[in-house]
Amino acid sequence: MNRILAAVAAFGLLAASGTAHASLAVGAKAPQFAAKGAKGGKEVDFDLARALKKGPVVLYFYPKAFTQGCTLEAHAFAEATPEFAALGATVVGLSADDLPTLKKFSTEACRDKFAVATASPAVTRGYDVALNRPGVPAGMTQRVSYVIDRSGRIAYVHADMDYREHVSGTLAAIKALRAKRPG
C-alpha cells in the first residue's frame, strides 16, 4: 500500500512540475541539429554539437515571438543569462518564427543576451514539440525546456505552457550538473 501511495505521489509531483507531457525523456539522446538564428539582431548559426563542446545547453522551445508569455519568458532568460554563463551553459530559444522576426525578437525580448533560432519541421519532430491544437498554425511548438549535458543526453525537461518555471527549473538543473562534475 505504501508503494502505491508513493507512486501516486511521485506521479503527482511529476505532473505538477510540468514534465508529464515532456517529449523526450531524461537520459534520451538529444537530436543533433544546426539552425539559422539571431543574437543581438544579427544573423548567427547555431550548432548543438559545437555548443555542447563548451558546456551544457539550455534548449527552450517557445510558440511564437512577441506573444505575451514568450516575451516574458525571453525577458526571464535574458535576466538569468549571466548566471547560466557563469555555470558554463549556453541558452538558445527555438521557435518556427522566420529570421527577420528572430532578429527583432533577439534584440527586443532577449535583450541581446542569447540566441534564438528557427526550429525546422525536422527539429520540431525530433524533439516532439509540435503544438497540435485546433486553430493553431502548423509549425508552432509547445513551451518545452531541455537541459542537455555535454554528452548530448537530456538531463532535465520542463514542459508547461506557463513560462514562469522554465528559467528556475533549468537553472537548478544546470547547478545540479555542475555539482556532479568531478574536480
Q: Which residues contact 122 (CB under 8 A, 6 or more apart)?
A: 33
DSSP-assigned states of every residue in 46-96: EEHHHHHHHS-EEEEE-S-TTSHHHHHHHHHHHHHHHHHHHTT-EEEEEES
Q: Looking at 70, 94, 123, 147, which residue is catalytic?
A: 70
The candidate with the shortest Cα–Cα distance to 173, out of 19, 70, 4, 15, is 19
Known catalytic residue: 110?
no
Q: Are 113 and 92 in contact (CB under 8 A)?
A: no
Tell me how many degrees the CA angle 71-77-81 measures, rounded to the nearest 5: 145
Strand-pair partners of 44: 37
Q: Annotated active-site positions, please?
A: 70
